[in-house]
Amino acid sequence: MRIFIWYLVFVVTIPILISTLGDFHNLRYYFSVVDIIANIFASVHEGRWMGKMYSMLPLDMFSYLSTNFLSLLAIIGASWTAIHHAMETKSVFAGVAIASILFTFTYLLPIQGVGYVIDKYSKFMNEDTEVIDMTAGFFLLFTLLIIENILVFIYLRSLYKISK
């Protein structure tokens, strides 16, 4: 039931709100991190809270489908952003370079990093609670997003300077 509610909120309701209340194109940013958010929820209490909704090693068909669907949404979001920048800069190379940055920080690093950071932070705090786990997970998410945005900004700025 918790997983159904999570999907209803994070995969259906929030995207509808983003596209209705904001700009439809903002969905690309949200989709890029939906797998990280799922990984955070699935890592709380070492997976006892949300089961294996997002798992590196799915144990059953539901876990396999859920993990791959959420990863697909993240890849769609990162690809959409990279394509947007490629069209904006009129450079396929710029799009590929930005895609490399986005895939690294919104897909590759978080897959293993979220569970690792939550586990280490819980042990460091000598407490394994939902609040501790969520704090560590969302701190990692925001840290990765900040680094990613800085790298994309620096890259686009240097690309702009070179093209002048």
- Predicted local confidence at residue 84, as pLDDT: 92
State the average pLDDT over residues 97-112: 87
CB within 8 Å of 161: residues ≥ 6 apart: none
The whole-angstrom separation of Cα 24 and Cα 22 is 6
Q: In sequence order, which residues have a C-beta less than 8 Å from that of residue 69 and are 6 or more positions away? A: none
Cβ neighbours, 10 Å, residue 98: 25
Say what percent of the chain tops pLDDT 70. 97
Are 36 and 145 in contact by the 8 Å Cβ rule? The answer is: no
pLDDT the model gives residue 164: 55
Confidence band, pLDDT 50/70/90 cuts, at residue 77: very high
Q: How confident is the model at residue 163 (pLDDT cuts 50, 70, 90)?
A: low
- What does the radius of gyration of the chain's CA atoms come to, in whole angstroms? 17
- C-alpha 79/C-alpha 98 separation (Å) is 9
Q: pTM of the entire structure? A: 0.83
Alpha helices in the chain (DSSP H): 2-7, 14-21, 27-43, 61-89, 92-103, 109-125, 130-163
- Angle at which helix 92-103 crosses helix 130-163, to 10 degrees, equals 160
Mean pLDDT of the chain: 86
Mean pLDDT calculated for residue range 36-45: 85
Per-residue pLDDT of 50-70, as tens digits, reads 777 887 777 888 888 998 999
Is the pLDDT at 82 greater than 90, yes or no?
yes
Lowest-confidence segment of 17-26, 33-42, 44-53, 119-128 by average pLDDT: 44-53
Q: What is the pLDDT of residue 73?
A: 93
